[in-house]
Amino acid sequence: MTRLLILDSATDACSVALLDSRLQGADRIRQRFELAAKSHTRRLLPMVDEVLTEAGLSLSEVDALAFGQGPGSFTGLRICLGVVQGLAFARDLPVVGVSTLDSMAVGFYRQHPELLESDTPLLVALDARMQEVYWSLVRPGETAGALVSLAEEAVAPPQSVVEHPAVAALAGNFWGLGQGWQYSQLQALTPAGLEPAFYPGAADMAELALSAYERGEACSAEEAQPVYLRNTISWKKRERIRS
């Protein structure tokens, strides 16, 4: 039986969750969640303290740490990984990375079980700036919380997403999810449903993290890395533009 502490700040949302597989019902996963675009550094550690205190646990009683590894905000990903590595080094804990886009899909399916029953695909998109989106296309898997990838995670201009063969083949028979749907090119796809104001949360990463941990996919704090999808050149170019 496993206890995982999960942190995420890949988007404007900031969240921490504690999964205790020894428990059932509402106590199995505890979460703190805020929309705090400018406060990730200030809020992550207090949220950790809050969920551990609520559960009556200390960090030494956690088996592993997990984090939203991206894609997402470069700054948010670096902040989250830095906090996770600090906590992991302090207690010699293993670390598990979880896809931001997959966790959004899992969370949305949990809130909309009718889409699970109808096997409805989700096109998840986050704004990557520079007129691009981070995106993926998934549908429900055969087991609870599992996903089947129809198009691998990528960063691309919205029009390239529209023209992708897997997207075109669905002819609008999918739901759109995430802030990347602000682009008019994506909206022209006219999906069956659309929820742009949906954010990733650490609680939605919990079961994905647990599955990865049980498969032996954890690594050391030193080895943990974010998934940017963009290369270093694009990253530095964006930093120069912003400054």
Q: Give residue-wise pLDDT tens across range 94-114.
A: 999 999 999 999 999 999 999
Structure token pair of residue 143: 């087991």
Q: What is the pLDDT of residue 118?
A: 95
At residue 113, the pLDDT reads: 95
The model's pLDDT over 160-196, given as tens digits with 9 standing for 90+, comes to: 999 999 999 999 999 999 999 999 999 999 999 999 9
User: The pTM is what?
Assistant: 0.93
Kindly give, in sequence order, each residue whose CB lies less than 8 Å from that of residue 146, ignoring residues fewer than 6 positions away: 140
Phi-psi label, residue 37: left if phi above 0, alpha if psi -120 to 50, beta otherwise: alpha
State the distance between the two ends of the chain, measured CA to CA, in whole angstroms.
48
How far apart (Å, rounded) are the C-alpha atoms in residues 70 and 92?
23
Average pLDDT, the chain: 93
At 79 the pLDDT is 96
Determine the pLDDT at residue 26.
85
Alpha carbons 174 and 121: distance in angstroms, whole number: 5
What percent of the chain is predicted at pLDDT more than 90?
Answer: 88
pLDDT in tens, 30-82: 999 999 888 999 999 999 999 999 999 999 999 999 999 999 999 999 999 99
Element at 170 (helix H, strand E)? helix 165-170
| Encoded tokens for 130 | 């520079």
